[in-house]
C-alpha cells in the first residue's frame, strides 16, 4: 500500500481528536487546516528521508538528507547553508536554514539528520506493519524533522510566516557528536545567543496513559576515570600489618562506596569497564582493556571508566566531591585518583522552560489534543538541546512518537506526525506574534 493511502487511513483515525478543538482564532484554524491537508505529503517526505541511509559515519548519506530538507526550507523562503566540520573530526557537518524578521520571539529549531544505523544495518529501511511505520531513524529523528518542515509550511499557508525570525539547525552528528564540542556545537551556541527560544524535536515521550509529554530538563553526559595502584607482593602477605591490600581490593572498596553513598534523585553513574592485575592496559579510543595477573600476586594496578549523569551543575559539584572523598580513604598500601570530563551540559528545568511548556500545553489543549505534562528528566538521555539550554529558554521532545529507538524495531505512530505538527505550528504562531 502506498504512503498516500496509508496517510488517508491515518487521517480517518485522528479526525475525532480534532472535533473538540476550541479557543483557536481564525488564523490558527487555517494553520490547523493546512496541517491536516498536508498530512499525506508529510508521509511522502518522511519516507524519502528515511530511505536515505544517514548513519553518523555515512557522511555522503547525511549530506544527502541535508540536501533533501534544504530544498524544503528554500521553498518556504529560508536561506540555507551547509557548515562543514574540519576533516580531522570525521563528521559530515550541519544544515542551517534562516529567515529574518522583526515580529515576536526569535526562534531556534533543532533537529538532526543522522541516525545510529550505518550502511548495511539489517534493520528494516521502511515498512508499514500493523498500522505503524518501521524504519531506520523513523522516530529518532526524521519524524521530528518532518514535523518542523510541515509546521513551518502550515504557517506559510496561513500567511503567518512573514516577518518572523527563525533559525533551523539540523545537525549531522547528534548520535555521535564530534570532538571538540566547542567546534561541533559552536555554531549552534552562536545561534542560541541570537535567539529568545530554542525548541528541539526529539521524539515525544508518552506517559503511562498514552498522553504526550515534553522535556524541560535533561541530564548531562560526562565521564570519569579511576586509577588505582597497590604494592605488588606475594598474596600470602595480604591482611598482615604493613602489607598492601592491592589495587583490586581498593578499586572494589571505592566502587562499593559509590554505590552505597552517592545515589540521589536525578543522578546516575555507571562503571562500564574495569581492568586490574599485575599489569594493565587501556585503549580509550576502542573502549578496550587488557590485564595480566596471577592468583598468588597482589594486584599492582586497576583502572575503571564510567559515566556520570546529573541534572544541574550544583548536583555535579556535590556528587564529585562525594566521590573524591570516597577515593581518598585509601586502604593500606594503596593509592587512587579519579578524574572527571564533561561532555554534554545539563538542561536544568528552569522557570523559563516551564513557561514554554505551559504555552505548548495550552496550544495542544486548544487544538483538542489535550494538555502536555513534563517528562521526568531521568527518562531522557543526552541531546543537542543541552548545548543551548544554558543560554536560552528551551523545550524538547516535540517530535513524533514511536517505540524502540536505536533498535531494529524502531517504529512510529503515524498519527503522531499530525498531532505534533499541529501543536508545533500553533506554538510557533503564538511565539512569533
| Cell digits of residue 272 | 562500564
Looking at residue 6, its pLDDT comes to: 53
Question: In this structure, are residues 6 and 129 in contact, taking their beta carbons and an 8 Å threshold?
Answer: no
Looking at residue 242, its pLDDT comes to: 87
Residues pairing with 280 in the sheet: 291
Closest CA to 107 of 418, 398, 419: 398
Looking at residue 19, its pLDDT comes to: 44
Closest CA to 126 of 430, 384, 410, 381: 410
Question: In this structure, are residues 336 and 224 in contact, taking their beta carbons and an 8 Å threshold?
Answer: no
**Residue showing cell 508545533:** 424
Residues in the chain: 433
d(Cα 213, Cα 419) in Å, to the nearest integer? 12
Peptide bond into 141 cis (omega under 30): yes
The stretches of 367-414 forming alpha helices (DSSP H) are: none
Burial of 208 per CB tally in 10 Å (0-12, 13-18, 19+): exposed
Burial call 20-34: b when 16+ CB within 10 Å, e when fewer? ebeebeeebebbbeb
Q: What are phi and psi of 334, to 5 degrees?
A: -130, 160
Looking at residue 22, its pLDDT comes to: 60
3-state secondary structure of 138: helix
Per-residue pLDDT of the chain (433 residues; tens, 9 = 90+): 455 455 444 444 444 444 445 689 999 999 999 999 999 999 999 999 999 999 999 999 999 999 999 999 999 999 999 999 999 999 999 999 999 999 999 999 999 999 999 999 999 999 999 999 999 999 999 999 999 999 999 999 999 999 999 999 999 999 999 999 999 999 999 999 999 999 999 999 998 899 999 999 999 989 999 999 999 999 999 999 889 999 999 999 999 999 999 999 999 999 999 999 999 999 998 889 999 999 999 999 999 999 999 999 999 999 999 999 999 999 999 999 999 999 899 999 999 999 999 999 999 999 999 999 999 887 777 899 999 999 999 999 999 999 999 999 999 999 999 999 999 999 999 999 9
Looking at residue 18, its pLDDT comes to: 45
Looking at residue 5, its pLDDT comes to: 52
Looking at residue 378, its pLDDT comes to: 76
Question: Cβ contacts of residue 343 below 8 Å, gap of 6+?
Answer: 181, 220, 221, 222, 223, 382
| Cell digits of residue 422 | 499541529
CA angle 329, 330, 336 (to 5 degrees): 105
* Whole-structure pTM value: 0.86
Question: In this structure, are residues 366 and 24 in contact, taking their beta carbons and an 8 Å threshold?
Answer: yes
Question: In this structure, are residues 316 and 220 in contact, taking their beta carbons and an 8 Å threshold?
Answer: yes
Q: Going by CATH, does the domain composed of 221-344 fall within 1.10.10.10? A: no
d(Cα 281, Cα 301) in Å, to the nearest integer? 10
- The reply to whether 3-218+347-431 and 221-344 are identical in fold is no
Domain map (residue ranges) of the chain:
3-218+347-431, 221-344
Looking at residue 381, its pLDDT comes to: 74
d(Cα 94, Cα 52) in Å, to the nearest integer? 16
Residue 85 has, within 13 A of its CA and on its CB side, a CA count of 28
Taking each continuous run of H as one helix and of E as one strand, the counts in the chain are 10, 18
| Cell digits of residue 6 | 496509508
Instruction: Assign domain 3-218+347-431 to its CATH superfamily.
Output: Zn peptidases (3.40.630.10)
d(Cα 111, Cα 194) in Å, to the nearest integer? 18
Give 3-state DSSP helix, strand, coil % of the chain, rounded to 5.
Answer: 40, 25, 35
Looking at residue 285, its pLDDT comes to: 82
Amino acid at each position: 500500500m502506498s504512503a498516500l493511502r496509508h496517510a488517508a487511513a491515518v487521517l480517518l483515525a485522528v479526525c475525532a481528536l480534532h472535533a473538540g478543538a476550541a479557543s483557536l482564532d481564525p488564523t490558527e484554524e487555517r494553520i490547523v487546516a493546512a496541517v491536516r491537508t498536508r498530512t499525506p505529503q508529510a508521509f511522502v517526505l518522511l519516507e524519502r528521508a528515511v530511505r536515505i541511509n544517514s548513519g553518523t559515519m555515512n557522511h555522503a548519506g547525511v549530506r544527502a538528507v541535508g540536501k533533501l530538507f534544504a530544498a524544503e526550507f528554500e521553498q518556504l523562503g529560508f536561506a540555507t547553508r551547509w557548515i562543514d566540520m574540519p576533516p580531522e573530526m570525521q563528521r559530515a557537518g550541519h544544515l542551517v536554514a534562516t529567515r529574518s524578521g522583526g515580529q515576536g520571539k526569535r526562534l531556534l529549531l533543532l533537529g538532526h539528520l543522522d541516525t545510529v544505523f550505518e550502511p548495511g544495518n539489517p534493520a528494516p529501511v521502511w515498512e508499514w506493519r500493523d498500522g505503524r511505520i518501521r524504519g531506520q531513524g523513523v522516530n529518532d529523528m526524521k519524524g521530528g524533522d518532518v514535523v518542523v518542515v510541515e509546521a513551518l509550511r502550515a504557517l506559510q499557508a496561513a500567511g503567518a510566516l512573514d516577518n518572523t525570525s527563525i533559525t533551523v539547525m539540523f545537525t549531522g552528528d547528534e548520535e555521535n557528536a564530534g570532538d571538540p564540542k566547542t567546534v561541533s556545537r559552536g555554531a549552534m551556541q552562536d545561534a542560541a545567543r541570537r535567539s529568545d527560544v530554542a525548541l528541539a524535536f526529539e521524539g515525544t515521550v508518552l506517559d503511562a496513559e498514552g498522553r504526550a509529554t515534553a522535556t524541560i530538563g535533561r541530564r548531562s553526559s560526562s565521564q570519569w576515570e579511576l586509577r588505582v595502584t597497590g604494592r605488588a607482593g606475594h598474596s600470602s602477605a595480604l591482611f598482615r600489618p604493613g602489607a598492601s591490600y592491592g589495587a583490586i581490593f581498593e578499586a572494589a572498596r571505592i566502587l562499593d562506596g559509590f554505590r552505597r553513598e552517592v545515589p540521589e534523585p536525578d543522578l546516575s553513574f555507571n562503571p562500564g569497564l574495569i581492568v586490574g592485575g599485575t599489569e594493565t592496559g587501556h585503549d580509550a579510543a576502542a573502549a578496550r582493556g587488557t590485564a595480566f595477573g596471577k592468583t598468588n600476586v597482589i594486584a599492582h594496578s586497576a583502572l575503571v571508566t564510567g559515566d556520570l549523569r546529573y541534572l544541574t551543575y550544583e548536583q555535579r559539584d556535590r556528587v564529585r566531591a562525594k566521590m573524591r572523598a570516597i577515593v581518598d580513604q585509601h586502604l593500606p598500601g594503596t593509592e587512587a585518583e579519579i578524574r572527571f570530563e564533561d561532555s554534554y551540559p545539563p538542561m536544568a528545568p528552569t522557570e523559563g522552560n516551564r513557561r514554554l511548556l505551559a504555552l505548548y500545553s495550552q496550544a495542544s489543549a486548544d487544538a483538542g489534543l489535550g494538555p502536555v505534562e513534563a517528562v521526568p528528566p531521568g527518562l531522557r538521555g543526552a541531546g543537542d538541546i543541552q548545548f543551548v539550554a544554558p543560554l536560552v529558554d528551551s523545550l524538547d521532545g516535540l517530535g513524533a512518537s514511536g517505540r524502540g529507538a536505536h533498535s531494529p524495531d524502531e517504529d512510529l505512530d503515524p498519527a503522531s506526525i499530525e498531532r505534533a505538527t499541529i501543536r508545533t505550528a500553533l506554538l510557533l504562531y503564538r511565539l512569533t506574534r
